[in-house]
């Protein structure tokens, strides 16, 4: 945590480390790290890898908040993503954000219509032949529907990690 807080400028490796470790921090620590690292400074001059890592920091933070039952925090990061990210070239990112938005809204608004919307996104994943993501989302959704705190306080949940 202190590694990220004490830096003034972040390079590609910092974004990769943050992406892989963000889920292990408390919600407050996640908030502080994201405030410092996002939006990415000099975004237009960064490599695609760096931009991708920064994106996955946000998606991993969203997932972490949902699994900790902190749905309003998840919605905050979803709004941040929706207002700052370019979804025009990345269907996976758009569907990922929308899927998790529906899960968070299901619990915030206590309306099961959002579960059906999440299932529609899973259907789209199957239709475009992204079977792996569809199955992951489907498994996750079924666990959360049956027991909202299934992943609570475990850190044993799906997240994007990259090894190099």
Concatenated DSSP letters of 28-70: HHHHHHHHHH-SPTTGGGS-HHHHHHHHHHHHHHHHHHHHTT-
- pLDDT tens per residue across span 8-30: 999 999 999 999 999 999 999 99
pLDDT attached to residue 160? 53
Q: What is the mean pLDDT of the chain?
A: 90
Residue 75 inside a domain? The answer is: yes
**What is the band of 158 on the pLDDT scale with cuts at 50, 70, 90?**
low
Whether pLDDT at 154 is above 60 = no
- Taking the alpha carbons of 78, 1, 136, 105 in that order, is the dihedral positive or negative? negative
Residue 162 inside a domain? The answer is: no
H or E element at residue 82: helix 71-84
Are residue 39 and residue 74 in the same domain, yes or no?
A: yes
pLDDT attached to residue 126? 97
Are residue 56 and residue 119 in the same domain, yes or no?
A: no
Are residue 95 and residue 114 in the same domain, yes or no?
A: yes
Are residue 105 and residue 142 in the same domain, yes or no?
A: yes
């Amino acid at each position: 945590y202190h590694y990220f807080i004490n830096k003034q400028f972040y390079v590609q490796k910092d974004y990769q480390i943050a992406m892989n470790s963000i889920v292990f921090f408390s919600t407050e620590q996640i908030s502080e790290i994201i405030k410092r690292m996002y939006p990415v400074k000099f975004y237009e001059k960064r490599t695609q890898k760096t931009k991708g890592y920064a994106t996955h920091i946000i998606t991993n933070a969203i997932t972490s908040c949902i699994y900790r039952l902190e749905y309003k925090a998840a919605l905050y990061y979803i709004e941040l993503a929706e207002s700052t990210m370019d979804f025009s070239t990345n269907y996976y990112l758009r569907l990922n954000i929308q899927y998790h938005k529906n899960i968070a809204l299901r619990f915030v608004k206590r309306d099961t219509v959002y579960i059906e919307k999440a299932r529609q996104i899973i259907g789209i994943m199957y239709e475009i032949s992204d079977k792996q993501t569809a199955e992951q989302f489907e498994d996750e959704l079924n666990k959360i529907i049956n027991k909202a705190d299934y992943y609570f306080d475990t850190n044993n949940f799906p997240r994007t990690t990259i090894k190099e």
